[in-house]
Structures are given as structure tokens and as C-alpha cells.
A and B are shown apart, each in its own frame.
Chain A
Amino acid sequence: MFEARLTQSAILKKVLDAVKDLLSEATFECSDSGIQVQAMDNAHVSLVSLNLRSDGFDKYRCDRNLSMGMSISCMSKILRCAGAEDTVTLRAWDSPESIVFIFESPNKDKLAEYEMKLINMDQEHLGIPETSYSCVVKMPSAEFTRICRDLSQFGESITFACTKEGIKFSASGDYGSANIKLAQTADADNEEEAIIVNMQEPVKLTFSCRYLNCFVKAGPLCNQVQLSMSDDVPLVCEYKIGDIGHIRYYLAPKIDD
């Protein structure tokens, strides 16, 4: 059988909020090491890679590897039924046709069970090579959210230009243009507020606002976001999920026609 328990259902709620605008359905691969999801949006422009390690769960048991196709919108609806302080347990039997979500209140006086049918899915798996990136920038996730939102008003895409001094985000359109420069923070006293630039080569890349504004929905998961960039390759936008894992978004750049 498969059973995974998290004392804080809020973590799983936030994870669903972070993927539901990009994915309608996804396969959850469950094994001894944890739960993994790799799924592209319908247009194959972005990819979500979610990793939740088994040791991050409060209880975890997976007797045999399972691939469970799930409707993200249905899962999201179910998780909205969990109280903020509830514990969540996911349970499935071997060769399952459904998965059960069990929510338990902190004082254990309320127990709610929701069963969700699994779906058969053809899945396309992409081999993503381990790459060293020309620029890796760490910055507060709230700042990144704000920049994507603000610059989206000016155009359909945002250009990221990174040098050793910092990173510049810019957008332009019919009404005008805007750019925001962030300098690397001199002292990293406050880790959550730090902007750290690790640059081997300067990069300049352009990305669609629509996808970036989906990625920033992961902001509530982590105070910092990490952007990994090389010229003419997909962006990696990573948010840590506490001590349990991470969510990575890959986004194909806009390239010269």
C-alpha cells in the first residue's frame, strides 16, 4: 500500500495552488524515495518538476512503485476542503483506481475522507540534462512576484539581463517601457532579503509574462526564489518546499524569429 502523511496540509494546499494554473492533470510517481511529478503544460512551453522526499513526510510508506494520474483541478478542490491546521494523509492500495485524502483536525475530533478517481494518462517524459548555468540569481520571492506583475502591464514578455552587478528586468509595449534593476546585496545579514548573483557569463533572455505569472504562485512556499539562466536555453525557476523538497519550473525562452 501507499500512505503519506503530512501534519501540515497547508504545504500541500500551497503546492496545488502553485501548479493548478499550468496543469490540468499530472502523473504522481510514488516510490520509496518520495513523490515526483514531471508535467508540461498543453503548449509544451513550460514544465513543472515537483519533488517531495519521503523523509520530509511525518509518515511515509510505499510498498511498490505507483504511477497515479490525477486531475489537478479535482485535487485542488479536495484540498480546499482541508482546515488550515488539519493533518493530511494520502492513501492508495496497490494497483489503485482511486486515491483517498484523509483530513484530521488537530484535536482529532473531525475526520474527513475524500476519494478521488485516478485517470489513465499518456505521459511524455522529458530528459532534462544536469547543466551548469551562466547565471544563478537568488532573490526574495515576493520581489520576483511584484516585478512579474508590474512589468506584465507593459508587454507580453519580460527580458532578463544578468551581469555580475545584478539583474535587470525590462518590458516594452504600445504604451511605453519599464525596467527594474536589482543590485546584488552587499551584506547578506538577512538571508530572506538577500539578492545573490553568481555569474560566469552575462545572459540576456526573454520570457512570456503569462507563464512567469503562473510560476510566482509558488511564492507562498518559500521566501526565496532561484533563477538559473544560460543564453538560449530554458529558464529554471526554483522554490524550496520547506525541508521536504522543491518545485522547479522550466520555461522555454522567446527566440529571434
Chain B
Amino acid sequence: KKKQSTLTDFFKKS
């Protein structure tokens, strides 16, 4: 089973 990741898991807030 796969879950949806979010972009904030990968990219830093600037």
C-alpha cells in the first residue's frame, strides 16, 4: 500500500 507524500517532504520552505 502506498501513501501520498507532500512536496514539503522534499523541498525546503524558503
A28 to B8, CA, bound (A): 21
Say whether B6 contacts A127, CB under 8 Å. no
Q: How many residues of A contact B (CB 8 A)?
A: 24
Contacts of A40 in B (CB 8 A): 7
Contact B5 A127 (CB under 8 A): no
Tier of interface size on chain B? 10 to 19
Please state if A250 and B13 are interface contacts (CB–CB under 8 Å): no
CA distance A44 to B7 in the complex (A): 6
- Find chain A residues with CB under 8 A from B13 CB: 124-127
Measured between beta carbons, the chain B residues less than 8 angstroms from A126 are 7-8, 11-14
- In the complex, whether A105 has a CB less than 8 A from a CB of chain B is no
* Complex Cα gap A147–B11 (Å): 28
Inter-chain contact A125/B7, CB cutoff 8 Å: no
Please state if B2 and A234 are interface contacts (CB–CB under 8 Å). Answer: no
- Beta-carbon contact of A127 and B11 below 8 Å: yes
Contacting residues, chain B, for A47 (C-beta < 8 A): 7, 11
- Rounded to whole angstroms, the CA-CA distance of A195 and B4 in the bound complex is 29
A44 near B2 with CB under 8 A, answer no
B2: chain A residues at CB < 8 Å are 157, 206, 254-257
Query: Is B4 a contact of A45 with CB atoms below 8 Å?
Result: yes
- Indicate with 1 or 0, residue by residue over A37-81, a CB within 8 angstroms of chain B CB atoms: 000100111110000000000000000000000000000000000
> In the assembled complex, which residues on chain A have CB atoms less than 8 Å from the CB atom of B10?
233-234, 252
* Interfacial residues, chain B to chain A (CB-CB below 8 A): 1-14
Mark A residues whose CB is within 8 Å of B.
40, 43-47, 124-129, 157, 206, 208, 233-234, 250, 252-257
Extra inter-chain contacts (7) besides given A44-B8, A45-B5, CB under 8 Å: A45-B4, A46-B7, A129-B11, A208-B4, A252-B7, A256-B1, A256-B3
